[in-house]
Amino acid sequence: MLTNLSLRFRMMLFILCPLLLIAILAVSWRFIEAQQTAENIFDRTLIALALAISRDVAISGGDSLSIATRDLMSQVSGGHVFYHVKGPDGSYVTGYAYPPRVENAANEALKVFDTQHQNQNVRAVLLTENVQVNGVEGLSTTIVWQQEHLHAQLAIKLALRAAMLTAALMLSVAILVFFGVRYGLRPLNELEDAISKRSSHDLTTIRRKIPLETQGIVNRLNTLFDQLRSSFDARDRLISNAAHQLRNPIAAIQSMADAAKTAPTIADMRDRVNAISVATVRVSRLTSQMLSLEKLQSENSVARLKKADLVETVSKQCLISAQPVLANSIEFVLNAPPQAISVFHDEMLISEAIENLINNAMEHGGSSLTEISVKVFQDGDQSVIQVINDGEPILPEHKAQIFERFSQREGSSGSGLGLSIVAEIIRLHKGGCRLIDSDNSTGFELRF
């Protein structure tokens, strides 16, 4: 789902979402801290007021509170404060007549507690001191209380301040991230503009200054451009060579067809029609091999490799290819081990490669060709197929270009594509194909 979003939006999302989560956690933590802070502030204020009221009652005999204590009650507390004072004899001295109920307060000089007063939650402080009021000396109790919702109000106020500060920081960060990402992605936008200005024929290497993070993409693009250029060049060469190779046989077929029309006798006409048939077969084979080569070299051509017995694959193809070889009074030999050689390969493509090598020997072996042998064996961790014949050797000047398209010796009736197809098949198998020749034999070796 995120892959459909712009890179700028995704970067902002991945940066700001964690920051927002952290900000929410920070505000929550600050609210808890604010509650504790507010509770501590109010508790200390109530204790200070209780001490101040107790001192004023002892000094004035319960008649009045000092100005300082009244200011403390009205300003420091942050809300209305209630108090109640009992004298040493347990009688009411000053303050509000009905204080909150205090439980389990015996022998406690100072107690801070939560309770209820007139159906409201309050926070209270109980202070017990030895004082003298109106000539009576003994323990006096002072209770000071305040409604608890004032604590919550202070906590919320502190938390809101923290939330506002956090929101301001988040907004500042969001603005910085927005412009930072926009500025940081500017080289990508410039690269996009430069590529969009290219035509479909401009596949030259990109040489712009780019950020380190985009070098992999640009290098892959440059590699792709090189591959496309190579593919287009190969296609153009194939079309040019195909036009050159097809022009002569097609012209010959047309000429023989015209000659067949004007044949003086039925026998002459049949001879010329037979010649047309032979030329047509050659053109058909050339076209078929051109299509096979183009299919192998196309980017969508992938060998369907599966693990199978290479000996069985070679044996099946040799059984088919041996028939025309033997029909021409040429000896055919297959050397294969009795045990299986399991190799990942495409049986159809390997069969075609072997057929092309045998046909190549038949086409170019000449009059001295008496034997074609196929050998399959294991060489270490590699599997090897060799197709060898004792015909005419390949001239040194032809060896360097033997696997190129339409490369063939003069006077040959072949298409010049057989060995190119073999090379492409072995390339798809990530193997190697090489020429092996000696004084008495010539052949090709396929290694997997």
Average pLDDT over residues 403-411: 53
Per DSSP (E only), the strands in 65-196 are: 82-86, 92-95, 110-117, 120-133, 136-147
Q: What per-residue confidence (pLDDT) applies to 258?
A: 77
Note the pTM of the prediction, 2 decimals.
0.45
Q: What per-residue confidence (pLDDT) applies to 392?
A: 82
Question: Would you say residue 301 has pLDDT above 50?
Answer: no
Structure tokens at 365: 């072996």
Q: Please state, rounded to an integer, the average pLDDT across all residues of the chain.
A: 77
Q: How many CA atoms lie within 13 A of 231 on its CB side?
A: 15
Do the Cβ atoms of 269 and 260 come closer than 8 Å?
yes
333/243: higher pLDDT: 333
Domain spans in the chain, listed from the N-terminal domain onward: 2-156, 212-297, 306-447
Classify domain 2-156 by CATH number.
3.30.450
Do 212-297 and 306-447 have matching folds? Answer: no
289/185: higher pLDDT: 185
Average pLDDT over residues 76-85: 74
Q: What per-residue confidence (pLDDT) applies to 355?
A: 85
Question: Tokens 């591959």 appear where?
Answer: 227
Average pLDDT over residues 41-64: 79
Average pLDDT over residues 171-191: 78
Count other C-beta atoms under 10 Å from residue 38's C-beta: 21
185/423: higher pLDDT: 423
Taking only the tens place, the pLDDT of each residue in 391-400 is 888 777 666 6
Close Cβ partners of 214 (under 8 Å, ≥ 6 residues apart): 187, 188, 191
Pick the CATH number of 212-297 from 1.10.760, 1.10.3470, 1.10.287, 1.10.10: 1.10.287
Do the Cβ atoms of 96 and 83 come closer than 8 Å?
yes
Taking only the tens place, the pLDDT of each residue in 134-175 is 666 778 888 888 887 777 777 777 778 877 888 888 888 888
Structure tokens at 75: 């300003």
Question: Would you say residue 89 has pLDDT above 50?
Answer: yes
Asked which of 15-19, 154-158, 432-436 is least confident by mean pLDDT, the reply is 154-158
Q: What per-residue confidence (pLDDT) applies to 312?
A: 92
Average pLDDT over residues 426-438: 82
The C-alpha atoms of residue 306 and residue 76 are separated, in whole angstroms, by 87
Close Cβ partners of 363 (under 8 Å, ≥ 6 residues apart): 412, 413, 414, 418
3-state DSSP assignment of residue 213: helix
Q: What per-residue confidence (pLDDT) applies to 367?
A: 81
The C-alpha atoms of residue 292 and residue 349 are separated, in whole angstroms, by 10
pLDDT band at residue 41 under the 50/70/90 scheme: confident
Taking only the tens place, the pLDDT of each residue in 225-280 is 887 777 777 677 666 656 655 666 677 677 777 777 777 888 878 877 777 777 77
Fold exhibited by the domain 306-447: Heat Shock Protein 90 (3.30.565)
The C-alpha atoms of residue 267 and residue 158 are separated, in whole angstroms, by 116
